[in-house]
Amino acid sequence: MKKTMMVKINRRASAVVSIAHFQKARAPPGISTSARTFLPPNPNPNPKLKSQFRSHSAASVTTIASSSHQPSSSSHQPSRSSDISHESFKKKIDDINELENALSLYNEMVQMRPLPKVIHFNQLLNRIEGSMQDVEDIFQIMIQKGENPDIVTYNAMMDGYCLHGQMDKARNVFETMLSRGIGPNILSYSILMNGYFKKNENDEAMHLLREIPQRGLRPNISIYNIVLQGLFRMGRYGSARKVLIEMQAADVNPDFHTRCIMLDGLCKGGNMDEALQFLHDMEVDGSALHVCMYNIILRGLGKSGCLDCARDLFNILPLKGIEPNVATYNTMITTLCLKGRLEEAKEIFVKMEENGCSADGITFNFIAQGLLRRGDYEDALRFLEEMDTRGFSMVPYTLSIIIGLLQVKEKDPCLLKIIQKFGPDGL
């Protein structure tokens, strides 16, 4: 049975290697070819913002009607929000580093006439999302003051609870929003579904998927990507395939992330033959291909023990118009090192450097680990010295190998030199 499967994988890999040798595939906009992960993150990350709803630009933003908030008759003269630009508000909110500052800014905002836009209150909630109790307090104060929360506010609350794994509270916010006559948008569903999948509550997530059309909404590619990733994470490969078919039947075209999720899910599930067929179909139908997709396949082939197939595919990448990146080289090097094929790993290391792709700490550590396991201590020392020269550090696992070896060969000069030079102080 295993032999038959390996023959199938070899044939499929050969098809992928041989097809469209001179096809030029371009990377999707915004995706760096130096990405070091097999599944790249959102191409447009914002380091200030922690969660999905913050990148949502299509949500409606309303201004609280100033007529419902008459100026106080007290001697205090409220400031005017019209004098403060959106950029000034954003800077003030970004500068908040503790709850006291947040509450102070909030008190300042509620004294303004006309009141600031809801978007600014939402941004304030988002900024202190790390403490849900703080968010709840400000949310309640907003309601008491008459500043009616909008869809963005409710999405922010749900997202915060989901990030903390408090799905019951997130669902309560969803129901409260409905009871106040505010209809959910696609982002509302994506937040809840993602939270349910991360808590392994797949049935709840799938129920929400079926509910979306009943709300007059149409699942988009982001929703389907969340579903596919969640199903693969739980090992429900058959369900993931059905969702992909359903998505295509609904005229929702797979995007870059969809394809990476499919390849990664199939490979991690040991379905290499199907993963290779999926990649082959993309090459045939002219889909935009990216080096990250091939990195996923190479890693899957290596874990499946198909090293020769992986090597053949790796060698043919330039003919396909795919330029290997540091993750590609590291995938091959780590796989070969783990299988004891160190000479091939060092050949790829040399090729990597010759092609202008600089090795990183992962590269050096894995080769050093392989050399240490094989007993080539002098060679390992040279690699570690070069690694140190380039500013990379030894990872704990490399150190654990050296310590283990020293327990057996406590007087080996190379091992002693390595531990003296690169080991932690006092070891």
DSSP letters along 225-285, please?
HHHHHHHHHTT-HHHHHHHHHHHHHTT----HHHHHHHHHHHHHTT-HHHHHHHHHHHHHH
Beta-carbon contacts of 133 under 8 Å, excluding residues fewer than 6 positions away, are none
For the cut 60, the answer to whether the pLDDT of residue 68 exceeds it is: no
Helix 291-303 to helix 256-268 angle (10° resolution) is 0
Lowest mean pLDDT among 117-126, 154-163, 187-196, 252-261: 117-126
Task: Check residues 118 and 406 and name the one with the higher pLDDT.
Answer: 406
Q: How many domains does the chain have?
A: 1
Fill in the amino acid letter for 40.
Answer: P
Task: Check residues 36 and 310 and name the one with the higher pLDDT.
Answer: 310
> Does residue 378 lie in a domain region?
yes
Quote the pLDDT of residue 427: 55
Percentage of the chain lying above the pLDDT 90 cut: 53
Lowest mean pLDDT among 86-100, 155-169, 221-235, 348-362: 86-100
Quote the pLDDT of residue 160: 82
* 99-109 per-position pLDDT tens digit: 556 556 655 66
Decide: 276 and 16 in contact? Cβ < 8 Å: yes
> Does residue 170 lie in a domain region?
no
Quote the pLDDT of residue 195: 95
Which letter, b or e, does each residue of 67-92 get, where b requires 16 or more Cβ atoms within 10 Å of its Cβ?
eebeeeeeeeebeebeebeeeebeeb
What gap in Å lies between CA 331 and CA 296, rounded to an integer? Answer: 9
pLDDT bracket for residue 139 (50, 70, 90): low
Three-state DSSP state, 375: coil
> Does residue 419 lie in a domain region?
yes
Lowest mean pLDDT among 41-55, 135-149, 280-294, 377-391: 41-55
Quote the pLDDT of residue 34: 28
pLDDT bracket for residue 75 (50, 70, 90): very low
Beta-carbon contacts of 399 under 8 Å, excluding residues fewer than 6 positions away, are 422, 423, 424
> Does residue 412 lie in a domain region?
yes
Token output for 369: 């680990």
For the cut 80, the answer to whether the pLDDT of residue 218 exceeds it is: yes
For the cut 80, the answer to whether the pLDDT of residue 413 exceeds it is: yes
For the cut 80, the answer to whether the pLDDT of residue 128 exceeds it is: no
What gap in Å lies between CA 297 and CA 189, rounded to an integer? Answer: 31
Which H or E element spans position 307? helix 307-316
Task: Check residues 63 and 17 and name the one with the higher pLDDT.
Answer: 17
For the cut 80, the answer to whether the pLDDT of residue 426 exceeds it is: no
> Does residue 141 lie in a domain region?
no
Domain that holds residue 384: 360-427
Which H or E element spans position 56? none
> Does residue 370 lie in a domain region?
yes
> Does residue 208 lie in a domain region?
no
Quote the pLDDT of residue 121: 64
> Does residue 266 lie in a domain region?
no
Q: Where are the alpha helices (DSSP H) in 67-201?
A: 86-94, 99-110, 118-127, 132-144, 151-163, 167-179, 186-198
Token output for 115: 């009141």
Quote the pLDDT of residue 43: 34
What gap in Å lies between CA 371 and CA 365, rounded to an integer? Answer: 10
Closest CA to 317 of 73, 18, 55: 18
* 166-213 per-position pLDDT tens digit: 899 999 999 988 998 999 999 999 999 999 999 999 999 999 999 999
Quote the pLDDT of residue 164: 83
What gap in Å lies between CA 226 and CA 243, rounded to an integer? Answer: 11
Contacts for 93-101: CB closer than 8 Å, 24+ residues apart = 93/120, 93/123, 93/124, 93/127, 94/48, 94/127, 96/124, 96/127, 96/128, 99/128, 99/131, 99/134
**Residue 98: is it exposed, middle or buried by C-beta count within 10 angstroms (0-12/13-18/19+)?**
exposed
For the cut 60, the answer to whether the pLDDT of residue 377 exceeds it is: yes
- Give the HSE-up count for residue 151: Cα atoms under 13 Å, Cβ half-sphere: 18
